[in-house]
């Protein structure tokens, strides 16, 4: 039976908005992880069948098919193609799913999947001045909610969705803030222990930048308690229990076990199962729940079989509602912290999570890992990978 394996996974340190990566063009930021991938594997980039690249806000510096120009910026042969895709926050996780699918189908032998986002240079929602997203038919379908006064500008809004999730799952402000503080604590421990060192790629345009810079050491629920709610006067969601606006890039090399042997590569994990699902586009962020159910069913595995979960911390209610539904061991959920502590560079985040996950699995000898991403519009990806024996 055909298999797809990941032989290397790299990411840049995540930069905070207007931070260390602010002056690096997202094409060049993408090139940095492609360079690192080629150097660490020793492959000739000419063997790559395709570069599948996630990016969300494809305007300005991130327009013009950034996946193609990234590999050209890296100096890779002009014969290597590239494509850019957008599944909102899950863009690079979808890039990985698509890359693995093409390998499993026998269409590709060697693929790079990854993504980038410079939220400093291309702000969230940068394309809104060119038109009004969503369209009149969708707005009419959800008119009663959108015009209720809860949604700013009568637009779909993730923050309002997070407020609804907190309300529906009866998650208090204190619980959310305690979870946010936990994210900082775990991320600090991971950084200090060197858990990320093996996965980080240097960025030539940001010399000396070698660690995720969004971390706020010493964060506690008490220090977060004074922050003003962002989406409702009596709300529970604020900047401190939400993901940070960030810059970053990430990439993974996907191939077959046979081709890996021919190239002298050692697989880390194999692609076990993947799923994508849709959910309520108003709450928007509950998609990881049905996506997880779907991928576990497809894999024939249970929650207890999974040794590590990466559930993207778009907002604190997302992993907490997910955990409430599945009863997963809290110690296995986002064990290295998450986007609340280190940031969420949209188009890069899917393979950022994957990079964190596969290195953690290899370091700890964990057989199965699962990652899932909530996405704008109510979709979500869920992917299970399995450690390859002898990958350490």
User: What average pLDDT is seen over the chain?
Assistant: 97
CB atoms within 10 A of CB 77: 12
pLDDT at residue 392 greater than cutoff 80: no
Give me the pLDDT at residue 158, please: 96
Question: Could you tell me if 364 and 332 are in contact, meaning their C-beta atoms sit under 8 angstroms apart?
Answer: no
Which H helix or E strand runs over 364?
Answer: helix 349-364
Cα 227 from Cα 236, distance rounded (Å): 10
Cα 156 from Cα 109, distance rounded (Å): 40
Residue 96: both structure tokens together: 């990985």
CB atoms within 10 A of CB 307: 18
Cα 298 from Cα 376, distance rounded (Å): 24
- Residue 92: how many CA atoms within 13 Å on its side-chain side? 34
Each residue's pLDDT tens digit, 264-307: 999 999 999 999 999 999 999 999 999 999 999 999 999 999 99
Question: Could you tell me if 210 and 21 are in contact, meaning their C-beta atoms sit under 8 angstroms apart?
Answer: no
CB atoms within 10 A of CB 218: 9
CB atoms within 10 A of CB 223: 15
Each residue's pLDDT tens digit, 9-48: 999 999 999 999 999 999 999 999 999 999 999 999 999 9
Residue 337 DSSP one-character state: B
Mean pLDDT of 120-128: 90
Contacts by residues 290-295 (CB-CB < 8 Å, ≥ 24 positions apart) = 290/380, 291/372, 291/380, 291/381, 291/382, 292/322, 292/326, 292/370, 292/372, 292/382, 294/382, 295/370, 295/372, 295/382, 295/383, 295/384
Mean pLDDT of 120-124: 95
Give the active site residues: 89, 344, 374
Residue 332: both structure tokens together: 């296995």
Give φ, ψ of 306 to 5 degrees: -90, 125
Which string of b and e fits 257-282 if b means at least 16 CB within 10 Å?
Answer: bebbeebebebbbbbbbbbbbebebb
pLDDT at residue 147 greater than cutoff 80: yes
Give me the pLDDT at residue 390, please: 84
Each residue's pLDDT tens digit, 178-205: 999 999 999 999 999 999 999 999 999 9
Nearest to 322 by CA among 311, 336, 307: 311
User: 365: burial class by Cβ within 10 Å (0-12, 13-18, 19+)?
Assistant: exposed
Cα 235 from Cα 175, distance rounded (Å): 13
Q: Quickly state the pLDDT bin for 91 (edges 50, 70, 90).
A: very high
Question: Could you tell me if 313 and 285 are in contact, meaning their C-beta atoms sit under 8 angstroms apart?
Answer: no
Give me the pLDDT at residue 125, please: 84
Nearest to 373 by CA among 314, 317, 323: 314
Q: Map tokens 């997202």 to a residue.
A: 26
User: 337: burial class by Cβ within 10 Å (0-12, 13-18, 19+)?
Assistant: buried
Which H helix or E strand runs over 30?
Answer: helix 26-41
Cα 76 from Cα 382, distance rounded (Å): 31
Mean pLDDT of 91-112: 98
Cα 278 from Cα 294, distance rounded (Å): 11
Nearest to 294 by CA among 45, 97, 133: 97
């Amino acid at each position: 039976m055909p298999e797809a394996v990941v032989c290397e996974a790299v990411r840049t340190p995540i930069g905070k908005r207007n931070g260390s990566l602010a002056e690096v063009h997202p094409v060049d930021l993408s090139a940095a992880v492609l360079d690192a991938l080629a150097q660490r594997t020793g492959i000739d980039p000419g063997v790559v069948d395709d570069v599948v690249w996630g990016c969300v806000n494809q305007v300005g510096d991130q327009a013009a098919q950034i996946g193609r120009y990234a590999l050209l910026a890296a100096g890779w042969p002009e014969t290597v193609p590239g494509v850019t895709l957008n599944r909102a926050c899950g863009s690079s996780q979808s890039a990985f799913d698509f890359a693995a699918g093409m390998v499993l189908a026998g269409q590709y032998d060697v693929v790079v999947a990854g993504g980038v986002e410079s939220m400093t240079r291309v702000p969230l929602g940068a394309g809104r001045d060119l038109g009004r997203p969503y369209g009149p038919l969708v707005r009419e379908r959800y008119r009663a909610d959108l015009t209720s006064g809860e949604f700013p500008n009568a637009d779909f809004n993730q923050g309002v969705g997070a407020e609804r999730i907190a309300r529906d799952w009866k998650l208090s402000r204190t619980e959310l803030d305690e979870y946010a503080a936990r994210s900082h604590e775990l991320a600090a421990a991971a950084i200090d222990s060197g858990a990320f060192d093996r996965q980080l790629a240097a960025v030539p345009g940001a010399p000396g930048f070698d660690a995720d810079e969004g971390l706020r050491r010493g964060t506690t629920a008490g220090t977060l308690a004074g922050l003003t709610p962002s989406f409702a006067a009596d709300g529970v969601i604020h900047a401190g229990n939400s993901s940070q606006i960030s810059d970053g890039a990430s990439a993974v090399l996907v191939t077959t076990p046979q081709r890996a042997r021919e190239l002298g590569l050692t697989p880390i994990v194999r692609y076990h199962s993947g799923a994508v699902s849709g959910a309520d586009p108003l709450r928007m962020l509950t998609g990881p729940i049905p996506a997880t159910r779907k991928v576990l069913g497809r894999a024939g595995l249970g929650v207890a079989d999974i040794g590590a979960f990466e559930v993207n911390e778009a907002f604190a209610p997302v992993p907490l509602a997910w955990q409430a539904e599945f009863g997963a061991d809290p110690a296995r959920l986002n064990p290295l912290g998450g986007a609340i502590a280190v940031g969420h560079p949209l188009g890069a985040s899917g393979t950022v999570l994957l990079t964190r996950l596969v290195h953690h699995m290899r370091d700890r000898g964990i057989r199965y890992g699962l990652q899932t991403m909530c996405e704008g519009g109510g979709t979500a990806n869920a992917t299970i990978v399995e450690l390859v024996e002898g990958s350490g």
